[in-house]
Amino acid sequence: MKKIIVLLAGLLFFGLASKAQNDTVSAWTTSGDASLLFSQASFTNWAAGGENNITLNGFINLYEKYEKNKSKWKNMLALVYGQTKTGTREFRKSEDKIDFSSGYGLKAADKWYYSALFNFKSQFATGYNYHDNVDSTKVKISNFLAPAYTSIGLGMEYSPYDFLSFYLSPITERLIIVNDQDLANKGAFGVAPAEYNGQGNIIKEGEKVKNEFGVFFRILFRKEIIKNVDLQTKLELFSDYFNNPQNIDVNWDTMINFTINEWLAANFGLQMVYDDDMPITDKDGNIGPRTQIMQLLGIGVTYKFLN
Protein backbone atom coordinates (compact mmCIF):
# COMPACT_ATOMS: atom_id res chain seq x y z
CA MET A 1 0.00 0.00 0.00
CA LYS A 2 2.83 2.40 0.82
CA LYS A 3 4.24 1.91 -2.68
CA ILE A 4 0.90 2.89 -4.21
CA ILE A 5 0.70 6.06 -2.12
CA VAL A 6 4.26 6.98 -3.01
CA LEU A 7 3.42 6.42 -6.68
CA LEU A 8 0.34 8.63 -6.52
CA ALA A 9 2.20 11.39 -4.73
CA GLY A 10 5.03 11.07 -7.21
CA LEU A 11 2.64 11.42 -10.14
CA LEU A 12 1.06 14.48 -8.57
CA PHE A 13 4.35 16.26 -8.02
CA PHE A 14 6.18 14.89 -11.04
CA GLY A 15 6.13 18.36 -12.47
CA LEU A 16 8.27 19.68 -9.63
CA ALA A 17 11.25 17.88 -11.09
CA SER A 18 10.66 19.67 -14.36
CA LYS A 19 10.97 23.09 -12.79
CA ALA A 20 14.73 22.91 -12.93
CA GLN A 21 14.46 22.57 -16.69
CA ASN A 22 12.08 25.52 -17.11
CA ASP A 23 13.07 29.14 -16.94
CA THR A 24 9.67 30.29 -15.78
CA VAL A 25 8.96 28.70 -12.41
CA SER A 26 5.86 30.91 -12.07
CA ALA A 27 4.09 28.68 -14.58
CA TRP A 28 3.57 26.25 -11.69
CA THR A 29 1.13 26.75 -8.81
CA THR A 30 0.84 24.34 -5.90
CA SER A 31 -1.67 24.38 -3.06
CA GLY A 32 -3.19 22.04 -0.57
CA ASP A 33 -4.61 21.50 2.87
CA ALA A 34 -4.49 18.87 5.59
CA SER A 35 -7.06 18.46 8.36
CA LEU A 36 -7.50 16.24 11.40
CA LEU A 37 -11.08 16.24 12.69
CA PHE A 38 -12.18 14.90 16.06
CA SER A 39 -15.53 14.35 17.73
CA GLN A 40 -16.36 12.65 21.04
CA ALA A 41 -19.31 12.05 23.34
CA SER A 42 -19.21 10.54 26.83
CA PHE A 43 -22.08 9.56 29.17
CA THR A 44 -21.92 8.69 32.87
CA ASN A 45 -25.14 7.92 34.77
CA TRP A 46 -27.00 9.82 32.06
CA ALA A 47 -30.73 9.34 32.61
CA ALA A 48 -31.65 9.97 28.96
CA GLY A 49 -29.26 7.23 27.82
CA GLY A 50 -26.61 7.22 25.14
CA GLU A 51 -23.42 5.46 24.10
CA ASN A 52 -19.88 6.75 24.40
CA ASN A 53 -18.34 7.38 21.00
CA ILE A 54 -15.20 8.78 19.44
CA THR A 55 -14.45 9.60 15.81
CA LEU A 56 -11.19 10.64 14.16
CA ASN A 57 -10.92 11.61 10.48
CA GLY A 58 -7.90 12.78 8.47
CA PHE A 59 -7.97 14.64 5.13
CA ILE A 60 -5.20 15.59 2.71
CA ASN A 61 -5.94 17.55 -0.48
CA LEU A 62 -3.12 18.44 -2.87
CA TYR A 63 -3.33 20.49 -6.08
CA GLU A 64 -0.73 21.32 -8.68
CA LYS A 65 -1.20 23.18 -11.96
CA TYR A 66 1.13 24.08 -14.81
CA GLU A 67 -0.09 26.69 -17.26
CA LYS A 68 2.01 28.32 -19.96
CA ASN A 69 1.25 29.45 -23.48
CA LYS A 70 -1.38 27.01 -24.81
CA SER A 71 -0.66 24.17 -22.37
CA LYS A 72 -2.37 23.41 -19.09
CA TRP A 73 -1.71 20.44 -16.80
CA LYS A 74 -3.77 19.99 -13.61
CA ASN A 75 -3.21 17.35 -10.90
CA MET A 76 -5.35 16.65 -7.84
CA LEU A 77 -4.93 14.12 -5.03
CA ALA A 78 -7.44 13.57 -2.20
CA LEU A 79 -6.69 11.18 0.65
CA VAL A 80 -9.25 10.55 3.40
CA TYR A 81 -9.32 8.03 6.23
CA GLY A 82 -11.25 7.86 9.47
CA GLN A 83 -12.37 5.52 12.22
CA THR A 84 -15.11 5.60 14.81
CA LYS A 85 -15.78 3.67 18.02
CA THR A 86 -19.20 3.45 19.64
CA GLY A 87 -19.81 1.90 23.04
CA THR A 88 -17.91 -1.36 23.54
CA ARG A 89 -17.72 -2.14 19.81
CA GLU A 90 -14.37 -2.22 18.05
CA PHE A 91 -13.11 0.69 15.96
CA ARG A 92 -14.78 0.73 12.55
CA LYS A 93 -13.95 2.54 9.35
CA SER A 94 -15.94 5.73 8.86
CA GLU A 95 -14.11 7.35 5.90
CA ASP A 96 -11.78 5.84 3.30
CA LYS A 97 -10.83 7.38 -0.04
CA ILE A 98 -7.96 7.64 -2.50
CA ASP A 99 -8.80 9.88 -5.47
CA PHE A 100 -6.15 11.02 -7.96
CA SER A 101 -6.68 12.76 -11.29
CA SER A 102 -4.32 14.23 -13.85
CA GLY A 103 -5.50 16.19 -16.87
CA TYR A 104 -3.59 17.81 -19.71
CA GLY A 105 -5.15 20.44 -21.94
CA LEU A 106 -4.08 22.16 -25.15
CA LYS A 107 -5.92 25.39 -25.91
CA ALA A 108 -8.25 25.10 -28.89
CA ALA A 109 -10.00 28.46 -28.55
CA ASP A 110 -10.79 31.00 -25.86
CA LYS A 111 -11.58 28.99 -22.69
CA TRP A 112 -11.73 25.70 -24.66
CA TYR A 113 -9.09 22.95 -24.47
CA TYR A 114 -8.44 19.63 -26.16
CA SER A 115 -7.99 17.43 -23.09
CA ALA A 116 -6.76 14.05 -21.90
CA LEU A 117 -7.77 12.92 -18.41
CA PHE A 118 -6.55 10.08 -16.18
CA ASN A 119 -8.30 9.16 -12.93
CA PHE A 120 -7.67 6.59 -10.19
CA LYS A 121 -9.97 5.84 -7.23
CA SER A 122 -9.66 3.27 -4.45
CA GLN A 123 -9.48 2.92 -0.67
CA PHE A 124 -6.90 2.13 2.00
CA ALA A 125 -8.45 -0.54 4.21
CA THR A 126 -10.87 -3.46 4.37
CA GLY A 127 -14.56 -2.64 4.72
CA TYR A 128 -17.07 -4.83 6.55
CA ASN A 129 -20.80 -5.32 6.88
CA TYR A 130 -21.93 -6.07 10.44
CA HIS A 131 -24.94 -8.35 10.99
CA ASP A 132 -27.09 -7.03 13.84
CA ASN A 133 -24.25 -4.55 14.49
CA VAL A 134 -22.15 -7.25 16.22
CA ASP A 135 -18.36 -7.23 15.70
CA SER A 136 -18.02 -11.02 15.54
CA THR A 137 -20.47 -11.24 12.62
CA LYS A 138 -18.61 -8.90 10.28
CA VAL A 139 -18.43 -9.87 6.59
CA LYS A 140 -15.82 -8.44 4.26
CA ILE A 141 -17.40 -6.35 1.48
CA SER A 142 -14.42 -4.32 0.18
CA ASN A 143 -10.63 -4.08 0.42
CA PHE A 144 -7.62 -2.14 -0.81
CA LEU A 145 -7.84 -2.11 -4.64
CA ALA A 146 -11.18 -3.90 -4.31
CA PRO A 147 -12.65 -1.95 -5.80
CA ALA A 148 -10.33 0.36 -7.70
CA TYR A 149 -11.44 2.42 -10.66
CA THR A 150 -9.07 3.70 -13.33
CA SER A 151 -10.15 5.66 -16.37
CA ILE A 152 -8.47 7.45 -19.23
CA GLY A 153 -10.20 9.50 -21.87
CA LEU A 154 -9.93 12.12 -24.59
CA GLY A 155 -12.31 15.04 -24.93
CA MET A 156 -12.86 18.76 -24.53
CA GLU A 157 -12.73 21.00 -21.48
CA TYR A 158 -14.45 24.35 -21.10
CA SER A 159 -13.05 26.53 -18.31
CA PRO A 160 -14.80 29.92 -18.17
CA TYR A 161 -13.13 30.74 -14.83
CA ASP A 162 -10.13 29.44 -12.87
CA PHE A 163 -12.50 27.96 -10.28
CA LEU A 164 -14.93 26.25 -12.68
CA SER A 165 -14.51 23.71 -15.48
CA PHE A 166 -16.63 21.35 -17.57
CA TYR A 167 -15.08 18.26 -19.16
CA LEU A 168 -16.72 15.94 -21.70
CA SER A 169 -15.07 12.81 -23.10
CA PRO A 170 -16.98 10.62 -25.59
CA ILE A 171 -13.94 8.29 -25.64
CA THR A 172 -13.29 6.98 -22.12
CA GLU A 173 -12.04 3.54 -21.10
CA ARG A 174 -12.68 2.52 -17.49
CA LEU A 175 -11.36 -0.49 -15.60
CA ILE A 176 -13.08 -1.81 -12.48
CA ILE A 177 -10.49 -3.74 -10.45
CA VAL A 178 -11.37 -6.18 -7.66
CA ASN A 179 -7.95 -7.33 -6.43
CA ASP A 180 -9.39 -9.66 -3.78
CA GLN A 181 -10.21 -13.17 -5.00
CA ASP A 182 -12.88 -13.78 -2.37
CA LEU A 183 -14.78 -10.71 -3.51
CA ALA A 184 -14.08 -11.39 -7.18
CA ASN A 185 -15.54 -14.90 -6.79
CA LYS A 186 -18.75 -13.31 -5.50
CA GLY A 187 -18.90 -11.01 -8.54
CA ALA A 188 -18.50 -7.91 -6.38
CA PHE A 189 -18.69 -4.49 -8.08
CA GLY A 190 -19.78 -5.97 -11.39
CA VAL A 191 -16.90 -8.32 -12.28
CA ALA A 192 -17.72 -11.81 -13.62
CA PRO A 193 -18.22 -14.19 -10.63
CA ALA A 194 -16.68 -17.62 -10.15
CA GLU A 195 -18.17 -20.71 -11.80
CA TYR A 196 -19.03 -23.76 -9.67
CA ASN A 197 -19.68 -27.44 -10.36
CA GLY A 198 -22.57 -29.46 -9.00
CA GLN A 199 -20.71 -30.12 -5.75
CA GLY A 200 -20.17 -26.41 -5.10
CA ASN A 201 -16.47 -26.44 -5.99
CA ILE A 202 -14.97 -23.60 -7.98
CA ILE A 203 -14.06 -24.64 -11.52
CA LYS A 204 -13.21 -21.13 -12.68
CA GLU A 205 -12.14 -18.24 -10.44
CA GLY A 206 -13.99 -14.96 -10.66
CA GLU A 207 -12.44 -12.28 -12.85
CA LYS A 208 -10.63 -9.43 -11.13
CA VAL A 209 -11.05 -6.82 -13.86
CA LYS A 210 -14.03 -5.50 -15.79
CA ASN A 211 -13.51 -3.29 -18.82
CA GLU A 212 -15.98 -0.55 -19.74
CA PHE A 213 -15.99 1.94 -22.62
CA GLY A 214 -18.26 4.94 -22.74
CA VAL A 215 -18.85 8.65 -22.27
CA PHE A 216 -17.64 10.63 -19.23
CA PHE A 217 -18.71 14.07 -18.01
CA ARG A 218 -17.27 16.06 -15.10
CA ILE A 219 -17.93 19.41 -13.43
CA LEU A 220 -15.34 20.90 -11.05
CA PHE A 221 -15.89 23.90 -8.77
CA ARG A 222 -13.40 25.11 -6.16
CA LYS A 223 -13.69 28.62 -4.69
CA GLU A 224 -13.91 30.73 -1.54
CA ILE A 225 -17.60 31.60 -1.81
CA ILE A 226 -17.57 34.00 1.14
CA LYS A 227 -14.79 35.02 3.50
CA ASN A 228 -13.31 31.97 5.29
CA VAL A 229 -15.74 29.55 3.59
CA ASP A 230 -14.36 27.34 0.79
CA LEU A 231 -16.62 25.20 -1.39
CA GLN A 232 -15.23 22.27 -3.39
CA THR A 233 -17.59 20.13 -5.42
CA LYS A 234 -17.10 17.54 -8.15
CA LEU A 235 -19.83 15.84 -10.18
CA GLU A 236 -18.87 12.86 -12.35
CA LEU A 237 -21.17 10.96 -14.73
CA PHE A 238 -20.28 7.84 -16.74
CA SER A 239 -22.30 5.75 -19.21
CA ASP A 240 -21.08 2.46 -20.70
CA TYR A 241 -21.91 2.30 -24.41
CA PHE A 242 -22.25 -1.51 -24.46
CA ASN A 243 -23.89 -2.35 -21.12
CA ASN A 244 -27.13 -0.60 -20.16
CA PRO A 245 -26.05 2.87 -21.34
CA GLN A 246 -29.25 4.32 -19.89
CA ASN A 247 -28.00 3.48 -16.37
CA ILE A 248 -25.62 6.35 -15.63
CA ASP A 249 -23.03 6.00 -12.85
CA VAL A 250 -23.01 9.09 -10.63
CA ASN A 251 -20.39 10.34 -8.18
CA TRP A 252 -21.02 13.73 -6.53
CA ASP A 253 -18.48 14.77 -3.91
CA THR A 254 -18.81 18.05 -1.98
CA MET A 255 -16.73 19.54 0.84
CA ILE A 256 -17.29 22.87 2.61
CA ASN A 257 -14.44 24.18 4.77
CA PHE A 258 -15.15 26.83 7.43
CA THR A 259 -11.93 28.53 8.57
CA ILE A 260 -12.06 29.58 12.23
CA ASN A 261 -8.47 30.79 12.50
CA GLU A 262 -5.03 29.83 11.15
CA TRP A 263 -5.12 26.36 12.72
CA LEU A 264 -8.77 25.57 13.44
CA ALA A 265 -11.50 24.74 10.93
CA ALA A 266 -14.84 22.98 10.61
CA ASN A 267 -15.66 20.74 7.65
CA PHE A 268 -18.89 19.48 6.17
CA GLY A 269 -18.70 16.72 3.59
CA LEU A 270 -21.39 15.10 1.46
CA GLN A 271 -20.90 12.32 -1.09
CA MET A 272 -23.60 10.68 -3.20
CA VAL A 273 -22.89 7.64 -5.38
CA TYR A 274 -25.02 5.57 -7.73
CA ASP A 275 -23.50 2.60 -9.57
CA ASP A 276 -25.72 0.10 -11.37
CA ASP A 277 -23.03 -2.60 -10.89
CA MET A 278 -22.96 -2.18 -7.10
CA PRO A 279 -25.87 -4.04 -5.45
CA ILE A 280 -26.90 -2.90 -1.97
CA THR A 281 -28.91 -4.94 0.54
CA ASP A 282 -31.54 -2.87 2.37
CA LYS A 283 -32.96 -3.50 5.85
CA ASP A 284 -35.66 -5.79 4.40
CA GLY A 285 -33.15 -7.99 2.58
CA ASN A 286 -33.88 -6.65 -0.89
CA ILE A 287 -30.80 -6.52 -3.13
CA GLY A 288 -30.23 -4.03 -5.94
CA PRO A 289 -28.46 -0.81 -6.96
CA ARG A 290 -29.32 2.16 -4.74
CA THR A 291 -28.26 5.74 -4.15
CA GLN A 292 -25.50 5.79 -1.54
CA ILE A 293 -25.15 8.86 0.68
CA MET A 294 -22.40 9.70 3.15
CA GLN A 295 -22.09 12.90 5.16
CA LEU A 296 -19.60 14.20 7.66
CA LEU A 297 -19.40 17.17 10.01
CA GLY A 298 -16.42 17.81 12.24
CA ILE A 299 -14.07 20.35 13.77
CA GLY A 300 -10.32 20.09 14.18
CA VAL A 301 -6.88 21.33 13.25
CA THR A 302 -6.04 22.29 9.68
CA TYR A 303 -3.08 23.54 7.67
CA LYS A 304 -3.17 25.21 4.26
CA PHE A 305 -0.32 26.05 1.94
CA LEU A 306 0.15 27.84 -1.37
CA ASN A 307 3.34 28.38 -3.33
Spatial contact of 189 and 147, defined as CB atoms under 8 Å apart: yes
Instruction: Give me the phi and psi of 189, to 5 degrees please.
Output: 60, 25
For the chain, what percent of residues have pLDDT higher than 70? Answer: 91
Determine the pLDDT at residue 12: 46
Q: For the residues 85-98, what does the mean pLDDT come to?
A: 92
Determine the pLDDT at residue 25: 54
Residues with Cβ within 8 Å of 306's Cβ and at least 6 positions away in sequence, in order, are 29, 30, 31
Spatial contact of 98 and 79, defined as CB atoms under 8 Å apart: yes
The tens digit of pLDDT for each residue in 40-64 reads 888 877 777 788 989 999 999 999 9
Determine the pLDDT at residue 277: 78
Among 92, 96, 117, 121, which residue's Cα sits nearest to residue 105? 117
Q: Which residue has the higher pLDDT, 14 or 237?
A: 237
**Does position 13 have pLDDT exceeding 60, yes or no?**
no
**Does position 93 have pLDDT exceeding 50, yes or no?**
yes
Q: For the residues 14-35, what does the mean pLDDT come to?
A: 65
The tens digit of pLDDT for each residue in 202-230 reads 999 999 999 999 999 999 999 999 999 99
Local confidence band at 133 (pLDDT 50, 70, 90 cut-offs): confident
In the chain, the largest separation of any two C-alpha atoms, in whole Å, equals 69
The tens digit of pLDDT for each residue in 173-183 reads 999 999 999 99
- Please state the domain extents for the chain: 2-306
Among 214, 210, 212, which residue's Cα sits nearest to residue 191? 210
The tens digit of pLDDT for each residue in 259-268 reads 998 889 998 9
Local confidence band at 26 (pLDDT 50, 70, 90 cut-offs): low
Q: pTM here?
A: 0.86
E strand map for 42-163:
53-68, 71-86, 92-109, 112-122, 127-130, 138-142, 148-161
Separation of alpha carbons 287 and 17, rounded Å: 49
**Does position 246 have pLDDT exceeding 90, yes or no?**
yes
- We find that the CATH architecture of domain 2-306 is Beta Barrel (2.40)
Q: Measure CA of the first residue to CA of the last residue in the chain; give whole Å.
A: 29
The tens digit of pLDDT for each residue in 254-298 reads 999 999 988 899 989 999 999 987 877 777 777 778 889 988 888
**Does position 8 have pLDDT exceeding 50, yes or no?**
no
E strand map for 131-247:
138-142, 148-161, 164-177, 195-196, 202-204, 209-226, 229-240
The tens digit of pLDDT for each residue in 102-127 reads 999 999 999 999 999 999 999 999 99
Cβ-count burial 170-206 (b if 16+ within 10 Å, e if not): eebebebbbebeebbbbbbbbbebbeeeeeeeeeeeb
Q: For the residues 5-19, what does the mean pLDDT come to?
A: 46
Mean per-residue pLDDT over the chain, rounded: 88
